[in-house]
């Protein structure tokens, strides 16, 4: 999946880093160094995702996203900010951003989150009732999971975890993303609690089968792939 990403970031070194990271992941990146110019570019061209710094010259990121949304802009946006507290996160999401990433971040975290935004965009309108990755099927209405003809029993949380992985199939999702989106917590436990949940889920969906769907991406996170 090749995405066009608009990065609005005034710190040149940071901007180059983001450009490099996203570029290596196969995406096209355009960089703008101030808020006003960023808003203009976001409006006149169709990007797949916006990456916006909170503190920008000319126009703060918060205001930029708010104005962009008020004018009917739909491209998903990700805030980058050194302000990482929960309140700041909530502020960012209320302004109309779709995700929030605190600086400093691991490159894989940025790529994972930007790609998650792109997927959101292409998912389209009709609500999905069935998810499928390879021979793994999830029925969201009856809340049942099958792999091939085998029925798989999952705990509610495992179901939610698998649902998130299936919705982002083919993308790398990070541990922080899982803790945020599946458990709704915004802190870093020192113990690798997420890894253990993943390995439990893996034992249910992959153990009896030859083809392993749930992969560990070294130094980044996990990826569910057919």
Partner 1 sequence: MKSGPFAFIRTTTFRLALVYSTLFALFSAGLLTYLYQATVGASRAEATARLEAEFRTLAVAYNRGGPERLEQSLLERALVRVRDFTYQFETVNGRTIVGDMPRMPVDTSDDLGEVRRVTFEVERPFADRSTDITTIEGRIVRLDNGSVLLVGIKMDERNRLVQRVTFAVATAAPFGIILALLGGFFSASYASRRAEGLTRIAEAVMGGDLTQRADIGSSGDEFDRLSERLNAMLARLEDLMAATRHAGESIAHDLRSPLSRLRNRIEAALSDDMTVETARDTLAQTVEEVDHVLSTFSAILSLAKVGTASGETFEQIDLSELAEEMAELFEPACEESELGFESQVEQDLNVIGDRALLAQAISNLLDNAIKYSPAGGAIAFTVSAQDAGVRLSVIDSGTGIPEQDRERVKQRFVRLDRARTLPGSGLGLALVDAVAQLHKGQLLLDSAGHPDPNTGLKVSLILPKRV
Using CB under 8 A as the binding rule, whether residue 24 contacts partner 1 is answered as no
| Residue 20 interacts with partner 1 (CB under 8 A): yes or no | no
What interhelical angle do 193-205 and 156-167 show, nearest 10?
90
| Contacting residue, 94, 123, 150, 192, with partner 1 by CB under 8 A | 192
Burial status of residue 64 (CB atoms within 10 A of its CB: 0-12, 13-18, 19 or more): buried
Binding track, positions 91-110, relative to partner 1; x by CB under 8 A: -------------x------
Residue count (the chain): 226
Q: How many residues bind partner 1 (CB under 8 A)?
A: 21
Q: Is residue 130 at the binding interface for partner 1, with CB under 8 A as the rule?
A: no
Of 45-53, 65-73, 145-153, 179-187, the segment contacting partner 1 by CB under 8 A is 179-187
User: Can residue 183 be called a binding residue for partner 1 (CB under 8 A)?
Assistant: yes
Query: Can you say how many angstroms the Cα of residue 183 is from the centroid of all Cα atoms in its chain?
Result: 15
d(CA 57, CA 89): 20
Q: How far is CA 27 from CA 7, 21, 44, 48, 174, in A?
A: 12, 9, 19, 10, 19
Crossing angle (nearest 10°) for helices 61-70 and 35-44 = 30
Cβ neighbors of 165 (< 8 A, separation 6 or more) are 173, 214, 222, 224
Among positions 157, 170, 211, 212, the unique one binding partner 1 when judged by CB under 8 A = 157
Are 37 and 146 contacting, i.e. CB atoms less than 8 angstroms apart?
no
Nearer to partner 1, 87 or 125 (CB): 87
Output 132 or 160, the one with its CB closest to partner 1: 160
C-alpha–C-alpha distance, residues 47 and 203, integer Å: 39
Closer CB to partner 1, 150 or 192, in the complex: 192
226 lies in the binding site for partner 1 (CB under 8 A) = no
**Least distance (Å) between residue 53 CB and partner 1:** 18
Which stretch, 59-67, 72-80, 82-90, 123-131, contacts partner 1 (CB under 8 A)?
A: 82-90
**Cα–Cα distance for residue pair 72/53, rounded to 1 Å:** 20
26 binds partner 1 (CB under 8 A): no
Q: Which residues bind partner 1 (CB under 8 A)?
A: 84-87, 104, 157, 183, 185-193, 195-197, 199-200
């Amino acid at each position: 999946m090749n995405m066009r990403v608009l990065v609005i970031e005034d710190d040149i070194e940071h901007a180059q880093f983001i450009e490099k990271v996203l570029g290596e992941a196969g995406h096209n990146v355009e960089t703008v160094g101030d808020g006003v110019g960023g808003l203009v570019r976001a409006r006149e061209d169709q990007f797949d995702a916006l990456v916006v710094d909170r503190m920008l010259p000319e126009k703060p990121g918060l205001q930029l996203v708010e104005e962009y949304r008020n004018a009917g802009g739909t491209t998903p946006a990700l805030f980058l900010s050194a302000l990482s507290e929960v309140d700041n996160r909530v502020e960012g999401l209320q302004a109309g951003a779709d995700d929030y990433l605190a600086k400093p971040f691991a490159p894989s975290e940025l790529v994972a989150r930007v790609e998650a935004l792109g997927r959101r965009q292409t998912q389209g309108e009709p609500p999905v009732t069935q998810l499928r990755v390879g021979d793994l099927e999830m029925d969201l209405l009856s809340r049942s999971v099958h792999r091939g003809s085998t029925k798989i029993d999952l705990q509610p949380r495992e179901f939610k975890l698998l649902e998130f992985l299936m919705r982002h199939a083919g993308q790398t999702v990070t541990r922080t993303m899982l803790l945020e989106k599946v458990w709704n917590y915004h802190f870093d436990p020192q113990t690798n609690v997420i890894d253990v949940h993943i390995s439990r889920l893996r034992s249910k969906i992959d153990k009896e089968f030859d083809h392993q769907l749930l992969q560990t991406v070294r130094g980044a996170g996990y990826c569910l792939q057919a």
